């Protein structure tokens, strides 16, 4: 009874963005500024993080996958769902066989036997029997329950894949953030050293009468601001390291994690891009939403079957005797055969209301499934747009940083010989500081968004060598 599940038809676009974005992103100097090409239709590798070509990152992720409590919890939830399916399968497909042994000693009143005043009598009764019972699943309610449980197994399987993908993506983006913060710290310290040299220069010019006290105080303020920014960056770096330790199932005080720099993380030269028609079969969250929809469909069948008769067959065989010794030797044999039928006649509209509720739950799951697909395509489009903007921004930031650095050098030389004023020098310093930090952030953004694309496309779990069939639907296993 009830509907057979069919995946809802969803009209998918031929592309992710409108208009189509360039497939090649320009190169800029530096490891994170290489030319990057998007390759439509190419499949993602299961170990996509290896495209960043960093051995330390690869080892860190492998260790995290082995030790992660998040993955352990998701794996336990999957095993629980599998055992629930096995338990219910035994009840639906096979009869129940139970053995019982009972004994009683009882005194009966003489009035019960129709002979009052005799004082009654005492007797013992012992029983050993085997009882067999089986619920005929004529209308498929039990089989729909199994269908729902199989969907729950597949849902937990895809939840495990989603946790795997989320963990690896979080580690990569955290490593990129750490590398960015280290580069910002190093650059800030370099700028601080330059600013201190300029402060000393302004102080000498003040002694010679070539400048004013206000300019010296302004330069000292610049030095103080840079010094004040260092603890903030150091704190953020420490928090990032602690977060990375947590992803790797380590305590912050015992982490022993490798340190990463931007120059160690190489930009993937090619970005595999799944076809839009494949995305719905590759993203774990879409597959999980589909399994929830499948389970909701099966619950309609369960609610429908409950409207129809339920038939139970039973039988038993055993012995009965007045003493335990006779029970085991020459007890009286007993047996029984029976059948029962239960047909709901009047429940105050409960069963039909439950069926309508199951249909409403299926409609809700359908809408959520389609919403998940829409959000998935949005996330891919967002990342593709971000990658295109990252490449353009990196080119502009690299040029801005080069120009700001040369401007500061020339302005400083002119200030040393008295050919320019301090305001121009101060402005050149600020521009160079902002341009240097912005260039680091642009490099990090390009790396992080490359990882975000792999995550948005599903992470390539279907190509995993050790578990190529890790996400095989439970109904396929049941058919085997």
Whether 18 is in a domain gets the answer: no
Average pLDDT, the chain: 85
| Phi, psi torsion values for 460, nearest 5 degrees | 70, 25
Which tokens hold the place of 430?
């600020």
Q: Domain limits at 151? A: 24-95+138-307+350-479
**pLDDT at site 23:** 72
Question: CA–CA distance from 115 to each of 2, 105, 123, 130, 180 (Å)?
Answer: 61, 21, 17, 36, 100
Q: What confidence tens digit (pLDDT) does each residue in 81-113 have?
A: 999 999 988 888 888 888 888 888 777 766 665
477: pLDDT strictly greater than 50: no
pLDDT band at 397 (very low <50, low <70, confident <90, very high): confident
Q: Identify the weakest region by mean pLDDT among 19-28, 38-47, 100-109, 423-432.
A: 19-28
Which strands sit side by side in the sheet containing 36-40, from one edge to the other?
24-25, 36-40, 270-273
**pLDDT at site 202:** 79
Whether 326 is in a domain gets the answer: no
Q: Identify the weakest region by mean pLDDT among 31-40, 224-233, 264-273, 349-358.
A: 31-40
Pairing of strands 36-40, 270-273: parallel
| Mean pLDDT for the stretch of residues 263-285 | 88
269: pLDDT strictly greater than 60: yes
- Any idea of the CA torsion for 456, 243, 434, 26, to the nearest 10 degrees? -30
- Look-up: residue for tokens 């800030």? 188
Whether 435 is in a domain gets the answer: yes
**pLDDT at site 172:** 95
**pLDDT at site 469:** 40
Q: Identify the weakest region by mean pLDDT among 51-65, 172-186, 452-466.
A: 452-466
**pLDDT at site 119:** 61
Instruction: Count the domains in the chain.
Output: 1
Q: What percent of the chain has pLDDT over 70?
A: 91
Query: Is the torsion defined by CA of 405, 409, 415, 420 positive or negative?
Result: negative
For residue 75, is the peptide bond before it cis, meaning its omega torsion is within 30 degrees of 0? no
Q: What confidence tens digit (pLDDT) does each residue in 444-463 have?
A: 999 999 999 999 999 889 88
**pLDDT at site 371:** 93
80: pLDDT strictly greater than 90: yes
Whether 341 is in a domain gets the answer: no
Whether 101 is in a domain gets the answer: no
The CATH number that applies at residue 241 is 1.20.1600.10
| Mean pLDDT for the stretch of residues 358-366 | 93
Whether 132 is in a domain gets the answer: no
Q: What confidence tens digit (pLDDT) does each residue in 149-169 have?
A: 999 999 999 999 999 999 999
| Mean pLDDT for the stretch of residues 333-345 | 85
206: pLDDT strictly greater than 90: no
This prediction has a pTM of 0.84
Q: What percent of the chain has pLDDT over 90?
A: 34
423: pLDDT strictly greater than 90: no
**pLDDT at site 429:** 80
Whether 230 is in a domain gets the answer: yes
| Mean pLDDT for the stretch of residues 265-281 | 88
Whether 104 is in a domain gets the answer: no
**pLDDT at site 117:** 59
pLDDT band at 138 (very low <50, low <70, confident <90, very high): confident
């Amino acid at each position: 009874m009830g509907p057979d599940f069919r995946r809802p038809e969803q009209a998918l676009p031929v592309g992710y963005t409108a208009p189509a974005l360039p497939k090649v992103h320009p190169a800029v100097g530096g490891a994170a500024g290489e030319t990057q090409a998007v390759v439509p239709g190419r499949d993602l590798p299961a170990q996509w993080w290896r495209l960043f070509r960093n051995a330390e990152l690869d080892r860190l992720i492998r260790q995290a996958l082995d030790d992660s409590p998040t993955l352990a919890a998701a794996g336990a939830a999957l095993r629980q769902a599998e055992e629930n399916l096995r338990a219910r399968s035994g009840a639906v497909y096979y009869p129940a066989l139970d053995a019982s042994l009972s004994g009683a000693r009882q005194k009966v009143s003489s009035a019960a036997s129709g002979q009052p005043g005799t004082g009654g009598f005492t007797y013992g009764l012992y029983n050993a029997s085997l009882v067999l019972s089986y619920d005929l699943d004529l209308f498929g309610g039990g089989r729909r329950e199994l269908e729902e449980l199989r969907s729950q197994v597949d849902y937990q399987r895809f939840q495990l894949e989603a946790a795997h993908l989320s963990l690896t993506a979080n580690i990569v983006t955290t490593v990129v953030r750490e590398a960015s913060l280290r580069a910002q710290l190093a650059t800030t310290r370099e700028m601080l050293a330059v600013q201190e040299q300029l402060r000393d220069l302004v102080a000498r010019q003040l002694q010679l009468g070539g400048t004013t006290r206000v300019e010296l105080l302004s330069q000292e303020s610049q030095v103080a601001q840079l010094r004040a920014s260092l603890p903030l960056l150091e704190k953020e770096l420490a928090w990032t390291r602690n977060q990375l330790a947590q992803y790797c199932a380590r305590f912050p005080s015992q982490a022993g994690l490798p340190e990463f720099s931007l120059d160690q993380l190489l930009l993937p030269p090619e970005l595999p891009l799944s076809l839009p028609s494949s995305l719905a079969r590759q993203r774990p969250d879409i597959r999980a939403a589909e399994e929830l929809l499948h389970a909701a469909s099966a619950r309609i069948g369960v609610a429908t079957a409950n409207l129809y008769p339920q038939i139970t067959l039973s039988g038993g065989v055993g012995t009965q005797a007045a003493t335990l010794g006779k029970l085991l030797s020459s007890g009286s044999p007993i047996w029984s055969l029976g059948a029962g039928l239960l047909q709901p006649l009047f429940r105050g509209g409960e069963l039909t209301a439950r069926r309508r509720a199951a249909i409403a739950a299926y409609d809700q799951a359908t809408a959520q499934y389609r919403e998940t697909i829409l959000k998935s395509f949005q996330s891919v489009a967002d990342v593709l747009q971000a990658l295109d903007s990252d490449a353009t921004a990196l080119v502009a930031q690299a040029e801005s940083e080069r120009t700001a650095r040369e401007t500061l050098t020339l302005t400083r030389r002119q200030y040393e010989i008295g050919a320019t004023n301090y305001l121009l020098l101060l402005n050149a310093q600020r521009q160079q500081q902002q341009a240097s930090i912005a260039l680091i952030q642009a490099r990090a953004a390009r790396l992080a968004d490359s990882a975000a694309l792999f995550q948005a496309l599903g992470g390539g779990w279907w190509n995993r060598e050790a578990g190529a069939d890790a996400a095989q639907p439970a109904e396929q296993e049941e058919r085997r």
